[in-house]
Amino acid sequence: YKSDKPGTAPDCGMDLVPKYADDGGGQDMAAGTVNIGAGKQQLMGVRTATVEQKPVVRDIRATAQIVPDETKIAHIHVKVSGFVEKVYVDFVGQMVKQGQPVFTLYSPDLVATQEEYLIAKRGERTLSGAPYQEVSQGAQSLLRSARQRLKLWDISDAQIKKLDETGEVSKTITIYSPITGFVTDRKVFPNVSVTPDMDLYVVSDLSHVWATADI
């Protein structure tokens, strides 16, 4: 609002401020220029700087929870029910190497399958020279089936080879750690029965971890 005499602006009630021709009012100022006095600039906190192109960076500080990398966690289960006999890894936080024995398991089903395997092996050896090919092939099929059942229960080739060489049934099998890492959970104790649905050990490779932060 402009006026040629002192007073107040009718639209907002603010006092009119005198404007003189010699106060830098701007005959030589470029179009679109806004002129703000030094005192008002200080009150407004106006700061100026030369325009330049550079990355815009902001530091954010937050608390975070350090957790294992979910892609480097192994869960140890058994594929046959049985009873824990000897425990080699017996506390949470223990460091284990890949292939290190964790515990031994006694399973009646596993013992019976080993006996079936040895019987099938003797039958295959006895019937390999049978005059009827069907008899020989049947014995070989039984042997393959018993061997495959052992492998499906995580009996290693080395353990099956020992069974072949000695002809003696192993009362227990040894369960090994699948990765190198630290035990972060344990539910295995001596003389305790276990089933395939139980999560017996959790081993975490902590060489790479995640930081979960709330921003």
User: For residue range 105-149, what is the model confidence (pLDDT) as tens digits?
Assistant: 999 988 888 888 888 888 777 766 656 666 667 777 888 888 888
Contact by Cβ (8 Å): 204, 68:
yes
Confidence of residue 10 (pLDDT cuts 50, 70, 90): confident
How much is the pTM?
0.61
Confidence of residue 24 (pLDDT cuts 50, 70, 90): low
User: For residue range 185-207, what is the model confidence (pLDDT) as tens digits?
Assistant: 999 999 999 999 999 999 999 99
The span from the CA of 81 to the CA of 113, in Å, is: 13
Residue 109 phi, psi dihedral angles, 5° rounding: -65, -40
Alpha-carbon distances, residue 91 vs 154, 185, 212 (angstroms): 24, 9, 26
pLDDT, mean of residues 170-177: 90
